[in-house]
Amino acid sequence: MEKSKAADLKGEIHNGKGMDIGTMFVKCAQKEGDKIVFRSQRNAFFEIENNDFTKNILDNSKVRYMVKEAKLFVVGDEALQFANMFNKEVRRPLAKGVISPSEKEALPMVELLIKSVIGRPSHEGEIVYFSVPGEPLDAEFNIIYHSKVLEGFLRTLGYTPKSINEAHAVVLSELAEEDFTGIGLSFGGGMVNVCFSFMSVPIFKFSVTKAGDWIDQQVSMAIDETASRVSAIKESSLDLTKKDGLNKIETALSIYYNHLIEYVIENIKQELGRTKKLPQIDNPLTIVLSGGTSLPKGFEQRFKERLDQLKLPLPVGKVRMASQPLRSPAKGALVAASADEAKR
Ligand SMILES: Nc1ncnc2c1ncn2[C@@H]1O[C@H](COP(=O)(O)OP(=O)(O)OP(=O)(O)O)[C@@H](O)[C@H]1O
Ligand SMILES: [Mg+2]
């Protein structure tokens, strides 16, 4: 993929699939008729009491579940409903963007979720690109294990799997007009992913392990609220344009949003500084913002303000939101898959 020419990526999308396997959601994009269709599930599960009665009920519903060593796990979107009912938290197969090292049930859960979201290949060996995070700048782990395990699951399902960096996928999804030159950012749950691309070729890509979950935890610690309540308020009513009359949670959320945005910009500056040969780019760079954490009202404006203050060593033109911020990585992965399928 990294060698594809920009022109190949601009062709009409036909075959192939794009998967985004994130800390919070598992998503798939594919073409159906003349539309791109997205399927999505929460990347979560919840253990409930295992008995025949419950299993019978679940069998007659659309609830995904798995029985493992006499334990019954509800998997995906419905896990959240069960957890809410019992006033508990869901368990999550991924943490900080990769398969969670401390969750021993992670693998079968994520395998089931991938299978239920992607379905069967439309032909033997259909190409699927799946998103993987960049190497984290601020953590010890690498992404090799994560990437290889997911590749194995997709191959078992009959696909030809190929990985694509999540922020590179954002570039392919959103920056066609700019000949795939610019910076793609995905502000997710476990990570922020960044890719600086020139004519579709990544110049650098990286991740940081502060993102939406980190904001929830920090705010929760700062003001002694549960992380799930903080998250619920963040997702439903946070307005980053509001400057006065903020309550305690909004004030703390605003502070940590500022910190996160500055942290990401500082890391981009550092990576640009480390890049020995920056390409000769005629036009000012476009920056595109995506991911669940970029959704609050005023996020784009906040990002522009911080960028104006901190400044990159390259001229920046437009900063804009992705057209569908939660779907860009899956859509970009589909763009890559379709370009490969067209060459077969
Ligand atoms: N409307 C919203 N406002 C603010 N935050 C939101 C909103 N909707 C979702 N989020 C947050 O976005 C994050 C999830 O984003 P996203 O779906 O892009 O993550 P992901 O791709 O699953 O994770 P990652 O890429 O980090 O592995 C969570 O922290 C969630 O709380
Ligand atoms: Mg993501």
List of domains in the chain: 6-166+326-342 (3.30.420.40), 184-321 (3.30.420.40)
At residue 1, the pLDDT reads 56
Q: What whole-number distance in Å separates Cα of residue 189 and Cα of residue 212?
A: 4
**Is 167 close to ligand 1, i.e. is its CB under 6 Å away?**
no
Compute the distance from residue 53 Cα to the ligand 1 centre, in Å: 35
Contact, 299 vs 287, CB < 8 A? no
If 0-12 CB within 10 Å is exposed, 13-18 middle and 19+ buried, where does residue 12 land? exposed
Task: Decide: 134 in ligand 1 pocket, CB within 6 A.
Answer: no
Does ligand 1 come within 6 angstroms of the Cβ of 212? yes
Of the bound ligands, which one is closest to the alpha carbon of residue 192?
Answer: 1
Q: Which atom of ligand 1 is nearest to the CA of 131?
A: 25
Q: Which two tokens stand for residue 95?
A: 């943490």
76 Cβ closer than 6 Å to some ligand 1 atom: no
Instruction: Report d(CA 147, CA 164) in Å as an integer.
Output: 10
The residue type of 69 is E
Is-contact 162 1, C-beta < 8 A? yes
- Is there an atom of ligand 1 within 6 Å of 292 CB? yes
Q: How far is the CA of 292 from the centre of ligand 1 (A)?
A: 3
Question: What pLDDT score does 167 carry?
Answer: 98
Per-residue pLDDT of the chain (344 residues; tens, 9 = 90+): 555 567 788 888 888 999 999 999 999 999 998 999 999 999 999 999 999 999 999 999 989 999 998 899 999 999 999 999 999 999 999 999 999 999 999 999 999 999 999 999 999 999 999 999 999 999 998 899 999 999 999 999 999 999 999 999 999 999 999 999 999 999 999 999 999 999 999 999 999 999 999 999 999 999 999 999 999 999 999 999 999 999 999 999 999 999 999 999 999 999 999 998 888 888 999 999 999 999 999 999 999 999 999 999 999 999 999 999 999 999 999 999 999 998 88
Q: Which atom of ligand 1 is nearest to the CA of 329?
A: 21
Angle at 23 between CA 21 and CA 25, to 5 degrees: 60
pTM of the model: 0.95
Is 267's C-beta closer than 6 angstroms to any atom of ligand 1? Answer: no
Residue 29, CA atoms < 13 Å, CB-side half-sphere: 28
Residue with CA closest to ligand 1 atom 12: 292
Ligand 1 atom 14 nearest Cα: 189
**Which atom in ligand 1 lies closest to the alpha carbon of residue 97?**
27
Structure tokens at 197: 């691309």
C-beta of 19 in contact with ligand 1 (< 6 A): no
Ligand positioned closest to the Cα atom of 325: 1
230 Cα: distance to centroid of ligand 1 (angstroms): 13
Three-state secondary structure string covering the chain: CCCCCHHHHCCCCCCCEEEEECCCEEEEEEEECCEEEEEEEECCEEEECCCHHHHHHHHCCCCCEEEECCEEEEECHHHHHHHHHCCCCCECCEECCEECCCCCCHHHHHHHHHHHHHCCCCCCCCEEEEEECCCECCCCCCCHHHHHHHHHHHHHCCCEEEEEEHHHHHHHHHCCCCCCCEEEEEECCCCEEEEEEECCEEEEEEEECCCHHHHHHHHHHHHCCCHHHHHHHHHHHCECCCCCCCCHHHHHHHHHHHHHHHHHHHHHHHHHHHCCCCCCCCCCEEEEEECHHHCCECHHHHHHHHHHHHCCCCCEEEEEECCCCCCHHHHHHHHHHHHHHHCC
CB distance 291 to ligand 1 below 6 Å: yes
Answer whether 293 contacts ligand 1 (Cβ < 6 A): yes
